[in-house]
Structure 1
């Protein structure tokens, strides 16, 4: 018999259980079982409201140990830093570094970028820091996060082949990213994450003093060159990286990962690599 057809009241426990089962209830919530057949416990005498700054009055006849003195107010948690505050902290930390090893240590100890909490390694650079050519990408991927080095996965191997085609390798190229920790799922870095890392990559450029910069990908080009157009519009044309009185020729490049997804644009990428080679030759590098 369906419990909805029952005529005997009150319903039995079995009928109640069947009703709840038909209604889709499959879990009882509660830390402790409650015996509903017992009378509810007597309520504790109402405690008079405490006046701020005064001790609570004890309950008459109550146990003194049951009336502990009020606790001191908990200290309020510090307010979260804004993106501009984080950027300022990063800039102070970066400016204090006079060598690349000091800067690397500062980046590894920096806690202002939330990506650090989910990353395996801090990924900074590979290659020769005295090289005339500096290539700056966007952010580490899975392989880079695992190995702690930039551009070592499939797209990095393609980049190495592209560099080799114009006579460049780790001996005469320095490779880094604008972000030093892998975004989960290889998503695009957020504006806040870019701002947190930007002072460090700018300081790294100052310490390396490259003669030519190649920005691989839209985020690298937008962050370092201030470009607002897409990478397909800005690639292949020379820009200038400007920072505190210095100007360095800079070329936006299609990111190697993009070339793996869109092999039909490798012709344009090869044109850009030839432009890089010509600029380096023109500068006698």
Structure 2
């Protein structure tokens, strides 16, 4: 944890009363901004808040998304995945959209409206690795951070591999609730190999 960081929850003080998407203002409980270590080497990016995250205001919490914290705990990046506010190491959790609609996924317009939040978090944290969870987060990273088109990025094919991006490496993950045991094992083995590399010696030295 950065010595100057006061809280893991929304550490950059982003607008918690955001009303940029009027329809979502009527259905959400919380605007779920990023959570975690502002000195993180790894930024995990999901699609949009689940019911549990919407209720708690903390990304990837609740039974419907709990598997992501279990994965992080397995590689010693999350101390207590059952906690209401889990303690994370070198990790920041966020979404491409910040509000939940209980009956549908976010629209393309809603994703575009939220882009400044995500881009600001990634820019300020300046991580070494981006971990998109699911197809849509992977596609949203394609234009900004890779030379690949969306058509070349299939989450099933790219799961547990490393994509060399522009300034970042990207490690895609099938959502844990949709993974087979073999896919979970493959991801944990690959991520453990990645963690064995000493990113901390190079953090901040590369030109972006």
Q: Is 1:166 aligned to residue 75 of structure 2?
A: yes
Q: Which has the higher helix share?
A: 1
- Cα distance per residue 1:181-233 (max 9 Å; x no partner): 01222x32221111111222011100111111110011110111243343112
Q: 1:116 to 1:230 in 2, by over 3 A?
A: farther
**1:269 is matched with which residue?**
184
Corresponding residue pairs, total: 175
Q: Which blocks of at least 5 consecutive residues in structure 2 are unaligned?
A: 1-9, 79-87, 144-149, 201-208
**1:101 is matched with which residue?**
12
Structure 1 segment 1-285 matched on structure 2, within 5 A: 101-102=12-13, 104-105=14-15, 108-112=17-21, 114-169=23-78, 170-185=88-103, 187-226=104-143, 227-228=150-151, 229-242=153-166, 247-259=167-179, 265-285=180-200
- Looking at both structures, which has the greater relative contact order when contacts are Cα pairs under 8 Å and sequence separation is at least 6? 2
- Cα distance per residue 1:48-104 (max 9 Å; x no partner): xxxxxxxxxxxxxxxxxxxxxxxxxxxxxxxxxxxxxxxxxxxxxxxxxxx9524x1
What's the C-alpha RMSD, in Å, of the aligned pairs? 2.2
Give SS of 2:169's match.
strand
Q: 1:235 to 1:113 in 2, by over 3 A?
A: farther
The answer as to whether partners of 1:100 and 1:207 remain within 8 angstroms in 2 is no
Q: Which blocks of at least 5 consecutive residues in structure 1 are unaligned?
A: 1-98, 260-264
The answer as to whether partners of 1:122 and 1:180 remain within 8 angstroms in 2 is yes
The answer as to whether partners of 2:20 and 2:113 remain within 8 angstroms in 1 is no
